[in-house]
Amino acid sequence: MDFTLLADRPAAIPLIARWYFDEWGERSRGSTVATICANLETYLNRMAIPLLVLAVDHDDILGVASLKYREMDIYPDREHWLGGVYVPTLHRGRRVGSRVVENVVARARRLNVSTLHLQTERLDGGMYGRLGWKESARVTYRGREVLVMEQTLLQSIPDGAHTQ
């Protein structure tokens, strides 16, 4: 399994938009495959947020995840989010989701993101808990109970501390 960016495979946008619509489309009023495609166009970045990572095996896309800004409007102070984690049924159970999430986290570190957030309907944390994410809140958001989790990526240096 390899990883690439949507910016390097923009022809994948219609497929990913279909996955997202089929999985989450009914939750967003007015959402269509076309509107999701248009939104994904903003993810065609390599070294800037937002970006979308694809787990691939030759020509097959095994799964995706994104690094984006402010996913939940109730948390305007939480800037960086992992989102859009999706693995088609055919590829589930092979650590595709875990590995694409780990890849996004590594990219976030390289972009100097200090804390990364996510939301999941898996109230036990599921895969994210196993990957070291910590619960920060349980809320009802847009009519669904979700677990909000976070991971600290860069440690701040206390005032007065020196590095060598």
Enclosing domain of residue 135 = 2-152
Are the CB atoms for 147 and 122 separated by under 8 Å? yes
Asked if residue 105 is part of any domain, the answer here is yes
Asked if residue 64 is part of any domain, the answer here is yes
Chain segment 127-148, per-residue pLDDT in tens? 999 999 999 999 999 889 999 9
Instruction: Tell whether the model's pLDDT for residue 29 goes beyond 80.
Output: no
> How far is 103 from 108, CA to CA, in rounded Å?
9
Number of Cα atoms under 13 Å in the Cβ half of residue 57: 6
Percent of the chain past pLDDT 70, that is, above it, reads: 94
Chain segment 34-84, per-residue pLDDT in tens? 999 999 999 999 999 999 999 999 999 999 999 999 999 999 999 999 999
Please report, for the domain that includes residue 145, its CATH number: 3.40.630.30
What's the pLDDT band for 30 if we cut at 50, 70, 90?
confident
Looking at the structure of the chain, the number of domains it has is 1
CA dihedral (7, 12, 18, 24) in degrees, to 10, reads -30
Asked if residue 163 is part of any domain, the answer here is no
Instruction: Tell whether the model's pLDDT for residue 164 goes beyond 50.
Output: no
Asked if residue 128 is part of any domain, the answer here is yes
Q: What is the DSSP-derived secondary structure letter of residue 67?
A: E
